[in-house]
Amino acid sequence: MIVVIGSFRFPPSIVGVLRPAMEAMVTASRAEEGCIEYTYALDVFDDGLVRVLEKWRDKAALEAHLRTVHIAEWRAQCSALAISERELTGYEAADEGFHF
């Protein structure tokens, strides 16, 4: 499994515009083959910060995701909406982890 964790920042004044774009991106990504989890979360303490969590079956599924039309559209919207400080890191997880 591949786990992607990160964040990005946007001007807080555009949350009304950004929310539908994020919803469209999350919905399309969750429908992809190999997507286990795909989540954007607005940080409750830091206006304009979005936390990202993705889980993919394998690297091939993530690579296919990065070639989709909705990723290209999302990236264009991010540029137009002044999204900044985008930082995403992928990790290969050997197992499902543990619960506590």
Residue 88 has a pLDDT of 95
Are 48 and 9 a contacting pair, CB within 8 Å? yes
Query: What are the boundaries of each domain within the chain?
Result: 2-92
List Cβ neighbours of 4 (8 Å cut-off, separation of 6 or more).
Answer: 52, 53, 54, 55, 56, 62, 88, 89, 90, 91
Neighbours of 52 (CB within 10 A): 19
**Assigned CATH for 2-92:** 3.30.70.100
Per-residue pLDDT of the chain (100 residues; tens, 9 = 90+): 999 999 999 999 998 888 999 999 999 999 999 999 999 999 999 999 999 999 999 999 999 999 999 999 999 988 888 888 999 999 999 876 777 8
In 3D space, the residue among 74, 10, 71 whose CA is nearest the CA of residue 43 turns out to be 10
Residue 83 has a pLDDT of 87
